[in-house]
Amino acid sequence: MLPNVLQPREADHVPVLAEEVRVYLGVQPGETVVDATFGAGGHAAILAGDLRGKGKLIAIDRDPTARTYFERLTSRATVSARLLRGDFGVVLPQLADNGVRADAILLDLGVSSMQLDRPERGFSYAADAPLDMRMDPTQDVSACDVVNTWSEKELATIFRRYGEERYARQIARAIVRRRRDRPFERTGELVDTIKAAIPAPARFGDGHPAKRVFQALRIAVNDELDSLEGALPAALEMLRPGGRLAVISFHSLEDRMVKERFRALTQACTCPPDLPVCACGARASFAALTRKPTVPSEAEVERNPRARSAKLRGVEKIR
Ligand SMILES: C[S@@+](CC[C@H](N)C(=O)[O-])C[C@H]1O[C@@H](n2cnc3c(N)ncnc32)[C@H](O)[C@@H]1O
């Protein structure tokens, strides 16, 4: 049970699979914990609590609004902590190169409730707002740039690949046709164009008709897959022997990337499968904390519908 001061407030982002992350990371007093997706600090507060006043918390987030939550956490918890603002795909390799080592690292991917629920950030199809979607508002490229300047082919590709959108081609074509008259500025204009581009019955099935395109744009604008690609090897390198890495993903492309990397690390032998005994003698450097991904219980999804697509995987560096 968390001390009262560390309990998240109701209106904040609710940490997903919080107890499972806590068990997998098994943080002990005196350890160094890296929360590379600090957000509102929900997971960080729990992990900091487990340090029991001894050890270090390194928090990372590319969104400057994380600072307020970080200050709240440090004002309430006895923990030696610092916040590094930046893309974890850049910051983690820098930490690794500088010889920083950690015992527990968490990546809770995607967006936070504070980003989704602030309409002016432009992440949500549910409110009309400027078309933005940058987690780091100082970054050059926003959703507005992508929608107004990328080619029809590029748009169709990201809608299909990152959004698994069935009508990717039709939507991309409608966007390009509409922007010839007037560039897109607002989320509402994009939602209207998406709705008009898809067949009427599809507007009523499988969630909001703009959900998949908005997800695809967010992933493209924030270059989320490249960040993860850069972060994983650095996080693994930073782990001390016995150190644990946990990753929560919300999208099949992210989960596949994590699964494949973890599988390669935990399966030592590289001999062809038809060889009766191992001839390569290779030893695994990591052990899986989860054979299969851990997913939220029905009760958690009921309490927090945003947990629905979460998948947690973890590995431990062998001593
Ligand atoms: C799902 S939220 C994390 C919520 C957090 N675990 C909590 O309990 O409050 C993801 C957070 O990671 C940040 N983020 C996503 N991708 C990032 C990246 N490449 N580099 C740094 N921060 C990132 C987002 O800005 C967001 O605040």
Taking only the tens place, the pLDDT of each residue in 62-117 is 999 999 999 999 998 889 999 999 999 999 999 999 999 999 999 999 999 889 98
Helical residues (DSSP H) of 108-223, grouped into ranges: 113-117, 143-149, 152-163, 168-181, 187-197, 211-221
Strand partners of residue 186: 130
Candidates 187, 211, 175; CA nearest to 127 is 187
Give the angle subtended at the CA of 231 by the CAs of 227 and 233, to the nearest 5°: 135
Q: Is the CB of 34 under 6 A from ligand 1?
A: no
Q: With bands split at pLDDT 50, 70 and 90, how would you rate the model's confidence at 11? A: low
Give the residue whose CA is nearest to atom 24 of ligand 1. Answer: 111
Mean pLDDT of 262-276: 86
Task: Quote the pLDDT of residue 311.
Answer: 98
Burial of 199 by CB count in 10 Å (0-12 exposed, 13-18 middle, 19+ buried)? Answer: exposed
Our CA dihedral for 210, 215, 218, 220, rounded to 10 degrees, sits at -110
Taking only the tens place, the pLDDT of each residue in 124-135 is 999 999 999 999
Candidates 258, 252, 295, 254; CA nearest to 164 is 252
- Residue 12 CA, closest ligand 1 atom number: 9
Q: With bands split at pLDDT 50, 70 and 90, how would you rate the model's confidence at 8? A: very low
- Helix, strand, or coil (residue 34): strand
Task: Quote the pLDDT of residue 2.
Answer: 43
Task: Quote the pLDDT of residue 3.
Answer: 43
Give the residue whose CA is nearest to atom 20 of ligand 1. Answer: 87
Give yes or no for residue 289 having a pLDDT over 90: yes
Beta strands in the chain (DSSP E): 32-35, 56-61, 80-85, 102-108, 239-249, 286-288, 311-317
| C-alpha 41 – ligand 1 centre gap (Å) | 9
